[in-house]
Amino acid sequence: MPAIPKVVVFLGDGMADEPVPELGGRTPLQAANKPAMDRIAREGRCGTLLTLPEGFPTSSDVANMSVLGCDLRAELCGRGPLEAASQGLTLGPHDTAFRVNLVTVDDAGVLRDYSGGQVPAAAAREAIGLLNAGLGSEKLRFHTGVSYRNLLILSGPEFCAEVHCEKPDDHHGHLVSHHLPRPRSAAGERTAAVLRDLMARGAEILRGRTANAVWPWSGGRAGAIHDLGRRYGVRGAVISAVDVINGLGRCLGLDVIRVPGATGWIDTNYEGKADATIAALADHGFVFVHVEALDEVSHAQDLALKIRTIEEFDRRLIGRVLAAVDPATVTLAVLPDHPVPVRTGRHTRTPVPVAVRRPGWTADAVRTYDEIACPAGALGALRGRQLMDLLFAP
């Protein structure tokens, strides 16, 4: 029996979109010059994948867990624990971890930027230091992440994740006071009150800065996530700039490969990620390479920049890997984790386009990679772990 091909998954976070009037009814993917993605579609098979099923948050942790074949009902734990795992922080049985965005709020209390102006790393570290100095204790600690993406850990049995915290990137232009944390049950009342207090006091501490407030969300406790390597009999690796993806990879048993200059923004080191992917294939059977910048420009509702970022993702990363790998031994797949239409700047539950080129497959009739063409492909409408099972099928 021939060996199962090695697998590379290219994940463009938030890349999928909707038809845009300014583009004559085309989507950004249709308008972009993306020969590498189109080649994977033309030489492979296409379809869609449901990554944000009803009943779950429309967040990237949910979507990427879906892509990687997780059982959301059993394994979803929130961004907080995943980002803690990325940072090497071990959560105890009474630790609850929350993702904390450094955000920009205007004098009227309206959220103006969920990313605090893409706050630079040095400014983020300084802000987290000020928050710890003013608010930290043995039960409460902030941890620096990547740019605006940071972490809060609450320690003690009195805290829990039974709190409803809304996603900040869903509420640009909204009054923060209308979207404060609230308990899901009586057990979450104290935690919700502490988070609201942190938001109020944090704004005083950060007054005068561009990133002048905090927004905690997606809390949880450490859970049990399956080992992907054991499931499919491979050694795997993850390549990403952001903690939520690296933490998910670590929880799945993947090696986390750090690439110098990988930023989570449009200035990321695409070539470095491509070269790290190529090198990883020497001793890994699976590489998951994630690019965050597409999500960021989509939330910013910058159509021209989204098209440019799609093209750079295609040319500088996917094309570079495509030119280097042997099509007889490596399977390539490309997809987003979820759509972020530039019209709204918010995640949607629409299934995402998928293209897979696998050795030995006969191509279907799809000629381009985009939201309109891919649903007609031979893969059909995938969901759950069907994509991962297909990639590693004997």
Span 20-59, pLDDT tens digits: 999 999 999 999 999 999 999 999 999 999 999 999 999 9
Q: Where is 345: in which H helix or E strand?
A: none
Dihedral sign from CA coordinates of 380, 385, 388, 389: negative
Q: Which residue has the tokens 């734990």?
A: 77
pLDDT at 2: 58
- Count of C-beta atoms within a 10 Å radius of residue 233: 9
Whether the pLDDT of residue 393 is over 50: the answer is yes
**CA separation (Å) from 238 to 180, 224, 273, 334?**
34, 19, 10, 15
* Nearest-angstrom CA–CA distance, 213 and 106: 10
Question: With bands split at pLDDT 50, 70 and 90, how would you rate the model's confidence at 1?
Answer: very low
Percent of the chain whose predicted confidence (pLDDT) is above 90 = 97
Q: What is the dihedral of CA 280, 281, 282, 283, to 10 degrees?
A: 70
* Domain segments of the chain as ranges: 6-73+225-391, 81-220
Largest Cα–Cα separation, the chain: 67
Question: Which pLDDT score is estimated for 223?
Answer: 84
φ, ψ dihedrals at 194, nearest 5°: -65, -40
First-last CA distance in the chain: 9
Q: What CATH class is the domain 6-73+225-391?
A: alpha beta
Residue 3 confidence (pLDDT) above 80? no
pLDDT tens digits along 306-322 = 999 999 999 999 999 99
Q: What is the pLDDT of residue 351?
A: 98
Q: What is the pLDDT of residue 224?
A: 83
Structure-token pair, residue 130: 């000020």
Q: How far is CA 318 from the centre of its chain?
A: 18
99: enclosing H helix or E strand: strand 95-105
Q: What number is the average pLDDT over the span 254-260?
A: 97
> What integer is the mean pLDDT of 341-351?
97
Mean pLDDT score, 206-234: 95
